[in-house]
Chain A
Amino acid sequence: MLILFLLLFVGYAAGALLPFCFPAKPRTQSLLAHGCAGVASGAGIVLGLVGLFSPEPWTVSVRSTVPFLSLAVRLDTLSSFFVFTISLVGLAASIFAVDYVSELERKVSIGALGALFNGFLLSMTLVVLADDGFFFLIVWELMSVVSYLLVVTEHEKADVRYAGLFYFIMTHIGTAFVAVTFLFLYQASGSFSFEAFRDPAHRLPEDIRTLAFLMALIGFGTKAGIVPLHVWLPYAHPAAPSHVSALMSGVMIKTAIYALVRMYFDFLDGQFPWWWGFVVLMVGAVSALLGVMYALMEHDLKSLLAYHSVENIGIILLGIGAAMIFQSHGLKELAALALLAGLYHTINHAMFKALLFLGAGSLLYATHTRNMEEYGGLLRRMPWTGAAFLVGAASIAALPPTNGFVSEWLVFQSLFLSFHVPDMFLKLMMPLAASILALTGMLALACFAKAFGISFLALPRSPHARRAEEVPVSMRAAMGLLAVICVGLGLGPMVVVPLLDRVVAPFTEVSIAGNILAMDGWTLAPVSVEFSSLSTPAIALLLVAMGALGMALAALIGGSAQARRYKTWGCGIALSPRMEYTATGFVQPIKRVFATVYRPAVKLETEFLEESRYFAKRRHFEFHVEPVFQKYLYDPIIAFFTTMADRVKVIQGGSLHLYLMYIFATLIALLLFTV
Chain B
Amino acid sequence: MLSEMGSQLIDLCSALLLLTCFAIVAQRRLAACVDLFALQSAFLAGTAALVGFLTDNHHVYVTAAMTGVVKVIVIPVVLKKVIQRLNVKRELVMNVNVPVALLICGTLVILAFFITRPIIPLGHVLTRDSLAIALAIVLIGLFTMIARQKAVTQLVGFLVVENGLFLGATAATHGMPFVVELGVFFDVLVAALIAGIYTNRLQDAFDSVDTSHLTGLKE
Contacts and interface: CB of A to CB of B under 8 A. Distances in A.
Q: Please name the 6 residue pairs, one residue from A and one from B, whose CB atoms are nearest each other, closest first.
A: A654-B218, A654-B215, A656-B211, A660-B146, A671-B115, A655-B215
Nearest to B144: A660
Given A654-B214, A657-B95, A657-B211, A675 B146 contact: no
Interface residues of A toward B: which range? 10 to 19
A667 B145 CA distance: 14
Interface string B18-49: 00000000000000000000000000000000
Contact of B215 (A653, A667, A668, A671): A653
A663 B139 CA distance: 11
A642 to B, nearest CB: 14
Contact of A664 (B117, B142, B214): B142
Contacts of A596: none
Contacts of A644: none
Nearest to A662: B146
A652 interface: yes
A652 B218 CA distance: 9
B156 to A, nearest CB: 14
Contact of A675 (B95, B114, B211, B216): B114
Contacts of A671: 111, 115, 135
A239 to B, nearest CB: 29
Nearest to A656: B211
Contacts of B217: 654
Contacts of A672: 111, 115
B212 interface: yes
A660 B95 CA distance: 13
Given A656-B212, A672-B111, 7 more contacts: A652-B218, A655-B214, A657-B149, A657-B212, A660-B145, A671-B111, A675-B117
A553 interface: no
Contacts of A660: 142, 145-146
B166 interface: no
A653 B218 contact: yes
A525 B94 CA distance: 90
A661 interface: yes
Nearest to B158: A660
Contacts, number: 44
Interface residues of B, dominant DSSP? helix
Contacts of B211: 656-657
B118 A657 contact: no
Which of A652, A656, A664: most chain B CB closer than 10 A?
A656
Contacts of A667: 139, 142
Contacts of B139: 664, 667-668
Contact of B146 (A652, A654, A657): A657
Interface in A623-675: 652-657, 660-661, 663-664, 667-668, 671-672, 674-675
A652 B215 CA distance: 10
A661 B117 CA distance: 25
Interface in B190-219: 211-212, 214-218
A661 B95 CA distance: 12
Interface string B146-185: 1001000010000000000000000000000000000000
Contacts of A656: 154, 211-212, 214
B118 A675 contact: yes
Interface string B80-97: 000000000000000100
Interface residues of B, number: 21
A185 to B, nearest CB: 42
A156 B211 CA distance: 38
A22 B181 CA distance: 47
B143 interface: yes
A659 to B, nearest CB: 9
Contacts of B135: 671
Contacts of B149: 657
B118 A664 contact: no
A661 B218 CA distance: 17
Nearest to A659: B146
A670 to B, nearest CB: 10
Interface in A400-436: none
Contacts of B214: 654-656
Contacts of B146: 657, 660-661, 664
Interface in B111-152: 111, 114-115, 117-118, 135, 139, 142-143, 145-146, 149
A663 B142 contact: yes
A649 to B, nearest CB: 9
Contacts of B115: 671-672, 674-675
Nearest to A664: B142
B117 to A, nearest CB: 8
Which of B142, B149, B154: most chain A CB closer than 10 A?
B142
A529 B100 CA distance: 98
B142 A655 contact: no
A664 B143 contact: yes
A537 B142 CA distance: 84
Contacts of B95: 657
B194 to A, nearest CB: 15
Nearest to A655: B215
A48 to B, nearest CB: 53
B203 to A, nearest CB: 16
A669 to B, nearest CB: 11
Nearest to B95: A657
B212 A655 contact: yes
Nearest to B135: A671
A674 B111 CA distance: 13
Contacts of B117: 675
24 contacts: A652-B218, A653-B215, A653-B218, A654-B215, A654-B216, A655-B212, A655-B214, A655-B215, A656-B212, A657-B146, A657-B211, A660-B142, A660-B145, A661-B146, A663-B142, A664-B142, A667-B142, A671-B115, A671-B135, A672-B111, A672-B115, A674-B115, A675-B115, A675-B118
Contacts of B114: 675
B147 to A, nearest CB: 8
Contacts of A652: 218
Contacts of A675: 114-115, 117-118
Nearest to B111: A668
Contacts of B143: 664
Nearest to B145: A660
Which of B146, B149, B217: most chain A CB closer than 10 A?
B146
